[in-house]
Amino acid sequence: MPHSPTSEEIKRYREKAAIYIFVGVIIFAFSLLAALLGSSAQGLLTFVAICLTAWGMGWYAVSKGYLRSIGVLLGTLLWIGLVILWLMKDRYKLPSR
């Protein structure tokens, strides 16, 4: 039987997801700036941004009760994948405040 995470674990997973996704978006913004400036680092920055965003979305998928690989796969789609994952039903119910 699969492990059902506690509400604290779910919150921790979502915090990790938010950090990775936020840093990925910031690095992606730097890659756009590098492209405008004609820097050769643009490709590397974009790759790093996609990897960080995908990893963060993997954590977000885990917090919603899905496989990490689903989140990572959706993470490669960036914004579209984030919206899809956000719209997916939570399999874990957090206690209401």
Does residue 42 contact residue 67 with C-beta atoms inside 8 Å? no
Distance of CA 44 to the CA centre of its chain: 19
Does residue 58 contact residue 74 with C-beta atoms inside 8 Å? no
pLDDT at 1: 41
pLDDT at 6: 86
Decide which of 2 and 93 is more confident: 93
Read off the pLDDT of each residue in 80-88 and give the average, rounded to a whole number: 92
Q: Which two tokens stand for residue 96?
A: 């209401």
Q: How far apart are CA 56 and CA 59, in angstroms?
A: 5
Region of 63 (left: φ > 0; alpha: ψ -120 to 50; beta: rest) is alpha
Which residues make Cβ contacts (< 8 Å) with residue 49, sequence separation at least 6? 24, 25, 27, 28, 31
pLDDT digits (tens, 9 = 90+) for 27-83: 999 999 999 998 888 999 999 999 999 999 999 999 999 999 999 999 888 889 989
